[in-house]
Amino acid sequence: MTAPIPGGGRSGSALRTASLRTRTVLAVLALMVVLLIGLTVSVDVIYGAQLRTQLEDRLEDRAAAAASLVGTVDSDELADRLSAQGLSVRIESAAGEEVVAGPSPDQLREGPPAGLGPDGGPRPGPAAESGSSADTSTSGEVSVAASAISGDDQLVTLVSTLSDGSTLTLTASTAQISATVAQLRTVMAIAAAAVLMLAVVGVLLVVRSTLAPLTRVTTVARSIASGDRGRRLRPDRPRTEIGRVASAFDEMLDDVEGAERSALDAEARMRTFVSDAAHELRTPVAGIRAAADTLVRADLSRDDRELLATQIARESGRASRLINDMLMMARLDRGLDLIPTRVDLGRLVRSEADRLSLRRPSLDLRTRVPDRPVPVDADVDRLGQIVSNLVDNAARATGGDGAVVVEVLVDDADAATARIVVTDDGPGVPAEERERIFDRLVRLDPSREARAGAGLGLPIARGIARAHGGDVTCVPAPRGARFEVTLPLAVA
């Protein structure tokens, strides 16, 4: 069994209401941190690779300069000149003689040599300058035939094979490169921290300005909850995100206000209906009670007793009809259950008119129906109730002895609709009352209450017609009243 959610429904998850401002700021800052870290790592890798490439290029330049000095200076002096720049030098002649100068590779791993320049490469010295001079004088005698570079995070080693068969090995430390990259990393970390601090202030200001419309939504909602129901947001750009929220908010308020008005109107109508129904029932009940009291308490003759019994039966029938009509209105409000069958509308109207003629012999009731069938899918009893209510209404309007005509018409222009038209020669219905008479318990002439109905016949007729997909309306007529019932024809 699902446990109820405190303050909410029994199902569904609660709406997350964390601070949108905080979430937005944190999300933007997290994105900036990721971007700054990515930028720092990219600069670190790219700049370190460029410095290492520059160091390798300079080692190749030193090897080329040393090759140009071969033959002009001996191997020991050449090795001393190269080692003076902080390099580990090893020269192996073609005959197998080996000359080593400068710090060893292990010594280079222990710390940066003094001979490296601030950019991580060998600092130019006399040897390089002499090598350049010798290169211009004896260029082309000995040169670098092949080179191979190897190393790790701390050392770079260049092995060059010279054209005379000797081998020159130069090893340089990358400690200065690491130090330069570390300094760059520190500078970028400080700059990133400063940028993030500025970003926090800027994002807070921007988010506060951006979320200002939501603050207004909250203000309007609270004012509406306090009773100011007429306030609306009315967004100037309804297609934006906040505009769509504001439009939906306004539409919701309009619907709520309309539903509230409908509920109040329905409540008012219900109170009026209950009051009128009680008033209608009070008359026959009072008559029944008075007649019953007289029968019980008074010593009456047989004729008087029969008269009072007849009055009780008549008033009981009146109360019963009113109760039945009220029950019918309740069924119409709830949704009337129909049993539709295929029926000829002309035959149904003629049969109902014959039955009403027997019940109201003084009424001049005539029918006019087409020669051809007019098929409709309808509940026969309910459709007969529409005709009966309209004819009873016409009979009351004409005093019970007027002329009433019931017609069945099919328009050639609208072959999908049939009409039942009921006309009388009574006083007619004023134009301003033609719609109001379909309200419940409405009578146009309260002075004729004794013979008038309860004012439910026309609302019941309209409700039944609408349940069939049609309607009942009161239309202008040259004389008397004219009521038209529209019904959809049956599909072949």
Burial of 228 (0-12, 13-18, 19+ CB in 10 A): exposed
Q: Is the pTM of this model over 0.75?
A: no
Question: What is the rounded average pLDDT for all residues in the chain?
Answer: 80
Which 3-state string (H, E, C) describes the chain?
CCCCCCCCCCCCCCCCCCCHHHHHHHHHHHHHHHHHHHHHHHHHHHHHHHHHHHHHHHHHHHHHHHHHHECCECHHHHHHHHHCCCCEEEEECCCCCEEEECCCHHHHHHCCCCCECCCCCECCCHHHHHHHHHHHHHCCCCCEEEEEEEECCCEEEEEEEECCCCEEEEEEECHHHHHHHHHHHHHHHHHHHHHHHHHHHHHHHHHHHHCHHHHHHHHHHHHHHCCCCCCCCCCCCCCCHHHHHHHHHHHHHHHHHHHHHHHHHHHHHHHHHHHHHHHHHHHHHHHHHHHHHHHHHCCCCHHHHHHHHHHHHHHHHHHHHHHHHHHHHHHHHHCCCCCCEEEEHHHHHHHHHHHHHHHCCCCEEEEECCCCCCEEEECHHHHHHHHHHHHHHHHHHCCCCCEEEEEEEECCCCCCEEEEEEEECCCCCCHHHCCHHHCCCCCCCHHHCCCCCCCCHHHHHHHHHHHCCCEEEEECCCCCCEEEEEEECCCC
Are the C-beta atoms of residues 426 and 394 closer than 8 Å to each other? Answer: yes
- In angstroms, rounded to a whole number, what is the distance separating the alpha carbons of residues 77 and 64? 16
Strand partners, 172: 156
Instruction: List the chain pLDDT tens, one digit each, 492 residues.
Output: 445 544 444 555 666 666 777 888 888 888 888 988 888 888 888 988 888 888 888 888 888 888 888 878 888 888 888 888 888 888 888 777 888 888 888 888 876 555 444 444 444 443 333 333 333 333 447 788 888 888 888 888 888 888 888 888 888 888 888 888 888 888 888 988 898 888 888 888 888 887 777 777 778 778 777 777 777 777 777 787 778 888 888 888 888 778 878 888 778 777 776 776 676 677 678 778 888 888 787 777 888 888 888 888 877 877 787 777 777 777 777 777 888 899 999 999 999 999 888 888 899 999 999 988 999 999 998 899 899 889 988 998 888 888 999 999 987 666 788 999 999 998 888 888 888 888 877 766 554 444 455 677 888 889 889 988 999 999 998 888 999 999 999 876
What tens digit of pLDDT does each residue of 72-91 get? 888 888 888 888 888 888 88
What tens digit of pLDDT does each residue of 389-444 get? 899 889 988 888 889 999 999 876 667 889 999 999 988 888 888 888 888 777 66
